[in-house]
Amino acid sequence: MRCCGSFDGSKVISLHPATRLVAWAALVVFAQLARGPWLWGLGLVVLVGAFLFARHRAWRLVKRVRVLLLVLWVLFALFTPGELIVPFLGGAGPTQEGIAAASMHCVQLLVVVLLVAVLLESTRDQELVAGLMVLARPLGRFGLPVERLAVRVLLVFRYVETPPGGGWRALLVHDETSPAVENLRIQTIPLRWWDGLVAGSVVVLILLGAFR
């Protein structure tokens, strides 16, 4: 793993990768906390954003979780107690409460998957690692290897889209000669004051909306 020099902050127009990651994480949390119109509204916005900016990647990721979506829907629709929609089926039929719970959990999962697609489409690997390193920097005070942690998290993001040879166990193997790590050049990007302001504002707004 190699590290190159710092960016010239004046040449970087977009938000810092760490700020994007904070916003992404805040939206994921909001998706898990939101209910009713808030969740459906977020789902619609994220769906439109993914269609416009990450259509092909989003479709690949959704296809990878289609079985999980089906299982979630069946489990919640058929095994949630409540008023039966088809009474003659008895306990084998779906309930109104089950359909509502199944729809909510499927939308939450879809929102997270689409947010991952938009993040990976809009942020390069090097930028993701740089952002993860900034966010994980406080952990370095406790002796944790921040660079290795950032690279491993990036490999998890990659695994969501394209599993490596050997499956998930390959992510746990410590191998400095691994091509995914060896060819990754980390770019250190200075964190600007407005990045912190934007990140804090996003978190506060989303938490306020989630707890209304």
Read off the pLDDT of residues 191-211 as tens digits, 9 standing for 90 and up: 665 666 777 777 777 666 656
Are the C-beta atoms of residues 137 and 146 closer than 8 Å to each other?
yes
Confidence of residue 10 (pLDDT cuts 50, 70, 90): very low
Question: Which tokens belong to 166?
Answer: 């050997």
In angstroms, what is the C-alpha Rg of the chain?
20
Domain residue extents for the chain: 17-123, 124-190
Of 148, 131, 170, the C-alpha closest to 25 is 131
d(CA 30, CA 35): 9
Confidence of residue 69 (pLDDT cuts 50, 70, 90): very high
Of 6, 5, 36, the C-alpha closest to 209 is 36
pTM score, two decimals? 0.72
pLDDT of residue 190: 64
d(CA 77, CA 174): 42
pLDDT of residue 67: 92
Of 108, 136, 124, 146, the C-alpha closest to 22 is 136
pLDDT exceeds 70 at position 186: no
